[in-house]
Amino acid sequence: MTGTLINVGTVLAGGAIGTVLGQRFHTGTRTTLLQAIGLVTIVIGLQRVLPATDVLLLLVSVILGGLVGEALRIEDQLARLGALAERRFIRTKPEGLDSGAGPNPVRSSNGSVARGFVTASLIFCVGPMTILGSFEDGLTGAFQTLALKATLDGITAAILAATLGWGVLLAAGTVLFFQGALTLGASALRGALTDEMIAQMTAVGGLLIVGIGLNILEVARIRVGNLLPSLLTAPVLVTLTSVRPWP
């Protein structure tokens, strides 16, 4: 739960700063901060991937997971939720904030407590980084991914609160409930997974984190959401490859 608690703190801090300071966030500053987050995201992802000893298993896990994700159209479903929020609560989008971690932060000329709460909740909780980071925190106790997301959410909360008002602060409760539930659920499954399974899931997760970093830097547009099932195919493949056809 460490990563989720950090995330809650940054949403509260960012929202408070945005409420007090208003629309004083320079576009260049936002872009520089996001680029810094993108670079660190890639480094953390590589730290997860490089220790992997079975690259072939990693490749097959991602391919199979990608096929499942494409069949379920996970990325499209996540985008549809973001579009729903945009149609109902959003006027225009600010520049330089397409991270690939979830729906874009947005501005509205007509802010309200309800709009601030709902819009911020969707932005902070819908996206691959939320799911991936919560699973990592629950399975391994590593909260770096959620810490990076927390930094991104803090910046976003400040921008949203500057236009939608203090209702953005209430989204901290949504983050606590949603990410906390995912983390606790993953933690409950930890006893059923071997060290080898967790190691392979960590490597797959690292590869997806690299993809998120590339999206934040706008180097590529990787459909990370459709690769999320790889976190499930990885332990299955580990189990299958460990079975011997003879005693």
pTM surpassing 0.85? no
Taking the C-alpha atoms of residue 96 and residue 30, their distance in angstroms, rounded to an integer, is 7
Taking the C-alpha atoms of residue 103 and residue 121, their distance in angstroms, rounded to an integer, is 11
Per the structure block, which two tokens stand in for 61?
């896990």
DSSP helix/strand/coil, 107: strand
Of all residues in the chain, what percent carry a pLDDT higher than 70? 81
Query: Interior CA angle at 51 toward 50 and 56, to 5°?
Result: 75
* Residue 128 in this model has a pLDDT that exceeds 90: no
Which residue do the tokens 């995912």 mark?
A: 182
Strand partners of residue 92 = 107
Taking the C-alpha atoms of residue 187 and residue 172, their distance in angstroms, rounded to an integer, is 22
Rounded to whole angstroms, what are the CA distances from 47 to 42, 76, 147? 9, 29, 15
DSSP state, residue 169: G
Per the structure block, which two tokens stand in for 21?
């300071």
Domain ranges of the chain: 2-128+142-239
Q: pLDDT tens for residues 67-86? A: 999 999 888 887 776 666 55
